[in-house]
Amino acid sequence: MHIYFPKLSKDKPAIGEGTQFKDTTFGQYTDIGQLNFIDNSIIGDYTYTGQFCFIQNSLLKKFISAAAMVRIGPTDHPYDRPAQHMFAYNGSAYGFENPDTDFLENRKKKTTTVGNDVWLGHGIVVQSGVTVGDGAVIGSGAVVTKDVEPYTIMGGVPARPIKDRFPDEIKADMEKIKWWDWSREQLEANYDDFRLPIDEFVKKYLPRA
């Protein structure tokens, strides 16, 4: 969260104090909170994060709202081996100079995907390899271990469906409208319509056959 919101730019992400990132690309109007750690990820247009978020090997699509202390794509340890500690597969910090490159590369390829217009509540964890569908809501403190259907509200440990945001017909219509792919000009021209009741919004913007 912000006490005062920064002025965002389409050309350069707003990066909070103390944040570190590598091998990561940022879309337009992105806002990354303080003390985030982001590795090998793509952060889509208009997505923002709160403080103390950790994101690894992930694709975050557009218009994602991530609260503080969110963890996306935490990497696994090889718990089926004699030692699961990092020294045994990536031990250069400990003076062991023969990293397990196959294990490390395969771990990087296990992508976690968060869809468009998803709300990620405070302190949640989305496990590696999981896909969260468009429009979903993940309640505070949840641990997401399985794929989440679009427009589903999830909560708990492990996370389970609580209810749907919209009826199935509306969900299908929203996936056809895909407002998150509108141009900046379309967003500005239709800005006030995002306050309409959902059935009116769908009626106005559903593509005609």
**Tokens matching residue 96:** 């062991």
How many residues in total does the chain contain?
A: 209
**Tokens matching residue 90:** 């990536």
Q: Which of helix, strand or coil describes residue 82? A: coil
Quick one: which H or E segment has residue 39?
strand 37-39
Per annotation, catalytic residue among 2, 77, 85, 122: 77
DSSP 8-28: P-SSS-EE-TT-EEES-EE-T
Residue partners of 159: CB distance under 8 A and separation at least 6: 124, 138, 139, 142, 143, 144, 145, 146, 148
77 an active-site residue? Answer: yes
Tokens 């959902």 belong to which residue? Answer: 198
* Active site residues per annotation: 77
